[in-house]
Amino acid sequence: MYPLGMTRSLAVAASLVVLSVPATASAASLTVSPEKRCYSSGETVNLNGADFTPDGSATITRDGTLLGSLTVFPNGGFAGALTLAQNSGKRTKTYTATDDANPTLTASTQITVSSVRVSLAPASGPPGRLMSIRAHGFTTGRTLWAHVIKGTSKRNLKIGALRRACGRIRTSRRLLPRNAAVGVHTIQFDTFRRYKRKRPVRDRYTITVTRA
């Protein structure tokens, strides 16, 4: 039997609007792509506007808070990259674009953002124990994966299908084998079959296995 401890480590992205690239013109609007009912904290989406003053600029706010300004191109459209953030739970936020040359010209859209979190239980015990896994906020794929890393060793475990708009799952899995090596094991949860350390949408744990 190997007693072990577990700690959490998760990087949360800050909200950001990045200057635009050209977009095609359409009816006066502010839209988001890809279009989803819920988005993950840390996910980057495209914020697209149309029918604004050509060659001007538009100010972007979130629930009245200034985020930045985007250049409007000759066709009256603009586009910017928006990185979403939500520390806990989920929240529907209103994003508004206001034409700087004609402040009466505005367009708004709403985005629902969920925090990204995995809960594991029990927190201590032998490494081969069956663990209860609860997760939410994984909207970048249909399946939750766990990547177990120790040194150069990597194991990719399929946890299961994510449900509902904000990517939820509740299930049980053995994340470490009974004969897990002594030392620190990092477990990263995301929606990709292959491991990459810097996935924008992820949650991570470190589990330390010690000798009895």
Q: What is the pLDDT of residue 211?
A: 77
Are 135 and 169 in the same domain?
yes
Q: What is the pLDDT of residue 28?
A: 73
| pLDDT tier, 7 (very low <50, low <70, confident <90, very high otherwise) | very low
Indicate the residue among 114, 138, 161 that finishes a domain: 114
> Is it the case that residue 16 has pLDDT exceeding 80?
no
| Range 57-79 average pLDDT | 96
| pLDDT tier, 6 (very low <50, low <70, confident <90, very high otherwise) | low
Are 137 and 195 in the same domain?
yes
Q: What is the pLDDT of residue 14?
A: 33
Cβ-Cβ contacts under 8 Å for 153 (sequence gap 6 or more): none
C-alpha Rg value of the chain to the nearest Å: 21
Are 83 and 23 in the same domain?
yes
> Is it the case that residue 11 has pLDDT exceeding 60?
no
Which residue pairs, CB below 8 angstroms and at least 24 apart, start in 88-93?
88/115, 88/117, 89/114, 89/115, 90/38, 90/114, 90/115, 90/137, 90/166, 93/62, 93/63
For 187-211, the pLDDT digits (tens) are: 999 999 999 999 999 999 999 998 7
> Is it the case that residue 26 has pLDDT exceeding 70?
no
Q: What is the pLDDT of residue 36?
A: 96
Query: What's 169's domain CATH number?
Result: 2.60.40
Residue 71 is part of which domain span? 16-114
Indicate the residue among 114, 137, 156 that finishes a domain: 114
Q: What value does the mean pLDDT of the chain take?
A: 88
Number of domains in the chain: 2
| pLDDT tier, 146 (very low <50, low <70, confident <90, very high otherwise) | very high
Are 40 and 60 in the same domain?
yes
Q: Name the pTM for this structure.
A: 0.82
For 89-107, the pLDDT digits (tens) are: 999 999 999 999 999 999 9
Q: What is the pLDDT of residue 123?
A: 84
| Range 40-55 average pLDDT | 96
| Range 146-153 average pLDDT | 94
Q: Cα torsion at 135, 38, 85, 97 (round to 10°)?
A: 180
Are 63 and 132 in the same domain?
no
Where is pLDDT greater, at 16 or 166?
166
Where is pLDDT greater, at 114 or 125?
114
Q: What is the pLDDT of residue 17?
A: 39
